[in-house]
Structure 1
Amino acid sequence: MLKQFSLVFFVLFACYVGVNSRELKHITKELEVNAPAYEAWELYRNLGLINIIVPKLPNVQSTQVLKGDGGVGTVAKTTFVPGNSSYTE
């Protein structure tokens, strides 16, 4: 399950490399995972992806939560390694 989540997360971050954070962008990706819905939601709901998967991504230098607790309206800033841009979601 973690491999599937990490793949999805990596693909989403890879799509944002080079994106100007001032421009409005929207990406939708649907993926079926082999896990109960409550387990998958726990990763998204409480910033689990940021804490578990982001440190394993080689092109990500850091991620910090600017506002919120993982619920609706949460803003997280991801800083990529030099040569890439940062993205705020």
Structure 2
Amino acid sequence: MLKQFSLVFFVLFACYVGVNSRELKHITKELEVDAPAYEAWELYRNLGLINIIVPKLPNVQSTQVLKGDGGIGTVAKTTFVPDEAGNSSYTEEFIVIDDQKKGESGKSLGR
């Protein structure tokens, strides 16, 4: 079953595959997971992926939730290992969460 995950996951995924943070504008990727959609969404919806993926990403120092519990208005900051361009972090606010379509959108609050 193919499901689209949102920007938070793809920022982390892009770091894992070596994309520089200055290149991150819009990343979309679909992947198949061996789990029912409701289980995958529940893990993602409740910020569970941050705890699972971040420790495995060599280009990410940390991710922290600055405000909220994963719902609309949640603010999350990802701190990268500094690159040549000096990019070191990305902060995002979750502005749309659609449990029916299992999708999430956010807006950048800067670096």
Per-residue deviation, residues 36-55 of structure 1 (Å, max 9, x unmatched): 01210122111101111111
Identity score, percent: 97
Q: Larger % of helix: which?
A: 1
Which range moves more in the overlay, 31-40 or 10-19?
A: 10-19
Gaps of 5+ in 2: 92-110
Q: Normalising by the residue count of structure 2, what TM-score does the alignment of the two structures yield? A: 0.54
Other-structure match for 1:71: 71
Whose relative contact order is higher, 1 or 2, with alpha carbons under 8 Å and at least 6 apart?
Answer: 1
CA gap 1:43/1:25 in 2 versus in 1, 3 angstroms: same
CA gap 1:73/1:29 in 2 versus in 1, 3 angstroms: farther
Per-residue deviation, residues 28-76 of structure 1 (Å, max 9, x unmatched): 3333322101210122111101111111111110111011111223211
Which range moves more in the overlay, 78-87 or 60-69?
A: 78-87
How far, CA to CA, are the matches of 2:2 and 2:57 in structure 1?
13
Tell me, yes or no, if structure 1 residue 58 matches structure 2 residue 58: yes
Other-structure match for 1:81: 81
- How far off is 1:26 after superposition? 3.6
CA gap 1:30/1:44 in 2 versus in 1, 3 angstroms: same
CA gap 1:8/1:86 in 2 versus in 1, 3 angstroms: closer
CA gap 1:22/1:14 in 2 versus in 1, 3 angstroms: closer
Q: Normalising by the residue count of structure 1, what TM-score does the alignment of the two structures yield? A: 0.65
Matches within 5 A, 1:25-64: 25-64=25-64
Contact 1:4–1:33 (Cα < 8 Å) also in 2? no
Which range moves more in the overlay, 10-19 or 38-47?
A: 10-19
- Root mean square deviation of aligned Cα: 5.2
